[in-house]
Every structure is written in C-alpha cells, then in structure tokens.
C-alpha cells in the first residue's frame, strides 16, 4: 500500500517502522483497589528508572556543557530526587491514584510553585517540569520514546509531529527516513531533515495503512510516497531506485573537493545554511566554501536560559575555528511567528504572528537581547571573517535604529578595552517592502541575501507552513522571480554582493537558473551542495543565462515548471 505526502527532503529510504508517541498522556483516574497499590508503585518506580536511563543515554551523544546537555541534566536531577519519588508513592498509597495520575498531581504541584516565583528563570522552568511529567507518564504508558533510544536497525520514524528538540535527540545513525502527519516544505522539521540529509515526507496521513512497529517501509523522497509492505513488483522497483540513489550519492562525492565552475569557466560560490556546531562540523563532507546563513535562533531551541555574551562569543569563535578561515554569516535571532522559545519573553498571543513582532522587530524591542548578540558577534569578528545579517528589515528607519545600537555596543567594547572588529553588514531581503526600499538601504550595507521562503509567503499572502497552500503558492513562481530579479538589479547597480539563502537555492534544478539570473553566490542546505555543484559543473553559463531569460518571461507557474522539466541542463 502506498500513501502520499509532501516530499521535503529527497532520497530513498528503507527501514522498519518506528512509531514515535512521546507524549501518550492517557490517564486512569479511577480509585485504585487497595490490593493494586504495591503494583502501581512498582510501575511508577520502574518508569522513573527507565526514563533516567534513557536520559543518561542521551547525555552520551551530547556535548558536555551545551544547553541540550544542561537541560537533560536538570531533568535527571529532578527524577533522582528521592523526596519527589516519595511524593509519587505517597499519592498512590494515600489517595489511591494510578501511577500516571500520581505523577501528574505531584509534577503539576511542583510546576505551580515554580511558576509563582519571582525568579524569571525558575518560573520558566515550570514548563520544563510539565514537559518532563508528560515524558514520565508516556514511559508509564509504554510510549515510543524509550524504544527510539534502543534502536538497533535501520528505521523510518513515523509521528504526528516532531519538535526541533525531539529532532536533536534522534539517533540519526539508525533513522533513515522521517514521516510526519503535519508540516510543510518550509517547516522546521523539513529544514532540519534536509540539513541532515534524511529523506522526509510531511503531511502524510499514514493512519489508513494501520502501520505497526516493525512494518517494512520504503520512503520515496523524490515522488512523495510512503510504501508499507510493498508487493513483489513494487519492491523490485523500489530496491532498484534505492541502489540507483546510493550509486548517485557515491558519484556526487567526486564534486565535493573541486571548484564550482561551469564548463565555460564561470565560478559560483556555494555556501551552506547551518543551525548549530554539529552542522558546521559536517561541512567538510559537503564541499561548502563557507557559511551563508547561521540560524542563531536554533541555539535557543533547547536552552534553559538565554545564552549570555560569553557563551555566544565562544559559540561563534568555535564556528570560525571549525570552518578554518572561510566566511561565517551570522543571522541575528529570528524569533517570533512560528519560532517560539521558552527561554525568552515573547508575545503571548498575536492575531497574525507572521506579521507581528518577529525577527529584527523583536530584538529592537528587547535591546538587552540585541546588545548581547551584537557584542558577541563584534568580538568574534576579531578572530575571523564574519558577516552579520539582520532578518525582517523592511525600511531604512529600522536600519537607522539598528546601526545606532551597533554603535552603542562598539563604544562599550572600546571603553572596556575588549578586542573587536567590524563585520560586514547585510540584511535578509524577505518582504516586498525590502525589495522596494532596497536602494535607500544599500549605502549602509556590504551585502544582501534573499530569503525566498518568507519572500514568497509575504508576496503571495500564503502561510509557508500551511500544507493546504503549498501546491498553489510555491516560492518558484513568476511573482517571486520578478522580485528576486529586481533585488539583483538594484544591488548590482550599487556594487553590493547579493546572495540567496532560501530553499530555492537548495534545488539543483533551480540553482543553475539563479546563477543565470546573475547570482555569484548561493547558500543552501549542506546535504544538497554536491548535487547543486554537479548541476553547475556539468553545464555552461551561457545556457543558464538563456534559461533565466526564458524563466523571467513566464507568466504562469505552470510555464515555469514546464520550462524546468524540459531543459536539458
């Protein structure tokens, strides 16, 4: 049986199904018979022991001192607190509660006390305590988290959804594919899966196939299909695809260490989009010439507190050391909209969060957060080639305010006699307003980078994460191409370097077209770089220019799709 979904990360994967249900929170509120109390206490104790062991195993794969490591350590300390486990046993004994209900009662009481504290750090920890209670109840109920840590064979993970924190803890050496019921092509899971080079299918309703743990699955990340127990004919075809895919990946390794130059001698700089130090450490495998987008908000995904200046400075310096003299483009925190973090204060509710306090709008309203990051970046720039990029800049007034804050930080560092250097400054062009206002902002900028995910969202008035809109409002459409071309023309006239760091750059079919439009630099997911380089190296620049000219004449999405499907580049 096959099921369709949105293919967000290409490739073919084969493996056993693993159903991930980390938060099975079903509770039994019935009064326990007295005779069942010892067994229920044993069940709770066993779950605590299992979860502790699971967390200790997680620590082995995390960097000591990292925010992820600290978060797991904090959970372990709570679970190993004998007073805490004693309260759970007491609730089972005196109130005759089930193990799950007792855990919920004790953890909720603890979280309520923490939430009432004046200390904002401890108050925020209340949510972590509630999250831990869900995991413990899930362990009592035999949920999938434990099974995940014990994987010994190639598997395809199936889940309702997957948070970035859960993704960070996946045993990626055994997870060969990911299938979710939710999500779209630009969701965080899609970005993380592409960065890790794992085939992924989102918005796939796999319930109808009645898949259980251990079911043999094939994931076709090229055509957006999931096969459960394929028949003999399907199996033969899929195994051939898998062999071809592995052969193609082996062949692409040839391009890793050669220059990205067309057959008629034009060079394209290929940079990588990254979210953490692990991504950067893997860059030598991709052949990236530097980092075109470091999404610094990803360092907040699992953070228990906002990283201070020292922590951020160390992080950026370590990134510089890992890329050994290549350029590092740091994007300031792009929080808000669909990116929520428990370690910083964000608006509780907004009617239209994508149009609300996000990106630079957030950091300009929280100067302490902005100053911490600016000071850390300025200091790191003294140790390597750093470019600093600001998200969601729409108009020159925002740049005026921003550079005033940069100057404040520079003066502070001068007074404190701390070494620093000025990085190159740039913005992410991701709104139609930024395109229209670009000429007025360019005199203050060294470079611009086009973020096509948001540019398409704001141009087409279509939520980038809404799977119902993905097919009808793609980023690769005439309206967005015209805005990209306008940005290029404006920036080149002013002599300002222009890059593109959106998901369009990661498509090896579209990258040659973008080069033909005039880009000298693209930044894409690291896993996609070998295939992009192959497409560039195997073609001629003159062909790319002709393709781009034809694309810019297209008035319909279907014409663009037809153009790409018919080209022989």
- Rounded to an integer, what is the distance from CA 189 to the centroid of its chain? 6
- 469 CB-side CA count, 13 A: 12
- DSSP-assigned states of every residue in 483-504: HHHHHHHHHHHTT-EEEE-SGG
CA within 13 Å, CB half, 329: 31
Contact of 279 with 195, CB cutoff 8 Å? yes
* Nearest-angstrom CA–CA distance, 43 and 23: 17
Token digits for 567? 């080209």
Residue by residue, DSSP assigns 195-253 as: HHT--EEES--GGGGT--TT-EEEEETTTTEEEES--HHHHHHHHHHHHHHHHHHHHHG
Q: Which of 204, 260, 477, 501 is catalytic?
A: 501
For residues 290-308, one letter each, b for 16 or more C-beta atoms within 10 angstroms of the residue's C-beta and e for the rest, the string is: bbbbbbbbbbbbbbbbbbe
CB 543 within 8 A of CB 264: no
Query: Catalytic pick from 131, 188, 204, 394?
Result: 188
Grouping H, G, I as helix, E, B as strand and the rest as coil, residue 564 is: helix
Helix (H) or strand (E) holding 49: helix 37-60
Rounded Cα gap, residues 465 and 473, in angstroms:
11
Q: In a 3-state reduction of DSSP, which class is residue 299?
A: helix
Q: What are phi and psi of 171, to 5 degrees?
A: -80, 85
Nearest to 21 by CA among 140, 186, 195: 140
What Cα–Cα distance (Å) separates residue 151 from each residue in 38, 176, 195, 340, 541? Answer: 31, 12, 22, 30, 47
Active site residue 188: yes
Give Cα separations from 541 to 449, 487, 495, 544, 552 (angstroms): 22, 21, 21, 5, 17
Instruction: Answer for the pair 337, 356: CB distance below 8 angstroms, yes or no.
Output: yes
Rounded Cα distance between 493 and 508, Å, is 27
Among 271, 400, 401, which residue's Cα sits nearest to residue 329? 271
The three-state secondary structure class of 566 is helix
Which residues are part of the catalytic machinery? 188, 501
């Amino acid at each position: 049986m096959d099921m369709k979904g949105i293919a967000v990360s290409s490739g073919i994967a084969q493996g056993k199904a693993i159903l991930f249900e980390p938060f099975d929170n079903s509770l039994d509120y019935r009064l326990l018979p007295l005779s069942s109390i010892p067994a229920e206490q044993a069940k709770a104790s066993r779950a605590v022991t299992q979860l502790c062991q699971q967390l200790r195993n997680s620590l082995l794969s995390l960097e000591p001192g990292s925010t992820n490591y600290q978060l797991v350590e904090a959970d372990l300390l709570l679970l190993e607190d004998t007073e805490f486990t004693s309260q759970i046993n007491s609730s089972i004994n005196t109130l005759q509660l089930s193990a799950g209900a007792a855990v919920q009662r004790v953890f909720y009481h603890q979280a309520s006390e923490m939430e009432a504290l004046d200390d904002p750090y401890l108050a925020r920890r209340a949510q972590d305590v509630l999250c831990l209670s869900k995991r413990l109840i899930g362990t009592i109920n035999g949920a999938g988290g434990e099974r995940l840590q014990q994987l010994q064979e190639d598997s395809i993970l199936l889940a309702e959804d997957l948070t970035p924190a859960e993704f960070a803890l996946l045993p990626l050496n055994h997870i060969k594919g990911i299938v979710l019921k939710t999500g779209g092509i630009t969701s965080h899971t899609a970005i993380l899966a592409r960065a890790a080079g794992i085939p992924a299918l989102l918005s796939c309703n796999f319930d109808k196939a009645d898949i259980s743990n251990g079911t043999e699955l094939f994931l076709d990340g090229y055509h957006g299909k999931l096969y459960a127990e394929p028949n003999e004919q399907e199996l033969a075809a899929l195994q051939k695809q898998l062999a071809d895919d592995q052969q193609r990946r082996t062949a692409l390794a040839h391009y890793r260490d050669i220059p990205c130059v067309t057959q008629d001698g034009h060079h394209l700089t290929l940079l990588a989009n990254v979210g953490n130090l692990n991504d950067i450490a893997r860059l030598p495998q991709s052949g990236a010439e530097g980092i075109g987008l470091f999404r610094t908000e990803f360092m907040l995904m699992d953070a228990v507190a906002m990283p201070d200046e020292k922590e951020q400075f160390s992080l950026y310096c370590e990134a510089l050391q890992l890329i050994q003299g290549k350029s590092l483009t740091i994007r300031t925190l792009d929080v808000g909209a669909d990116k929520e973090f428990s370690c910083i204060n964000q608006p509780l509710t907004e009617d239209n969060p994508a149009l609300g306090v996000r990106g630079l709008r957030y950091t300009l309203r929280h100067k302490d957060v902005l100053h911490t990051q600016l000071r850390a970046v300025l200091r790191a720039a003294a140790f390597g080639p750093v470019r600093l990029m600001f998200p969601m800049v729409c108009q020159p007034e925002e740049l005026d305010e921003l550079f005033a804050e940069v100057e404040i930080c520079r003066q502070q560092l001068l007074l404190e006699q701390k070494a620093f250097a000025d990085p190159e400054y740039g913005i992410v062009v991701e709104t139609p307003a930024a395109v229209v206002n670009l000429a007025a902002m360019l005199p203050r900028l060294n470079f611009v980078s086009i973020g096509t995910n948001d540019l398409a969202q704001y141009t087409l008035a279509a939520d980038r994460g809404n799977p119902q809109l993905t097919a009808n409002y793609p980023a690769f459409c005439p309206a967005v191409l015209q805005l990209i071309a306008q940005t290029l023309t404006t920036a080149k006239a002013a002599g300002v370097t222009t890059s593109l760091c959106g998901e369009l750059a990661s498509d090896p079919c579209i990258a040659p077209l973008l080069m033909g439009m005039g880009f000298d630099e693209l930044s894409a997911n690291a896993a996609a770089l070998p295939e992009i380089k192959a497409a560039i190296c195997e073609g001629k620049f003159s062909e790319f220019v002709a393709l781009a000219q034809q694309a810019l004449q297209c008035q319909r999405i279907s014409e663009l799709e037809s153009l790409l499907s018919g080209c022989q580049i």
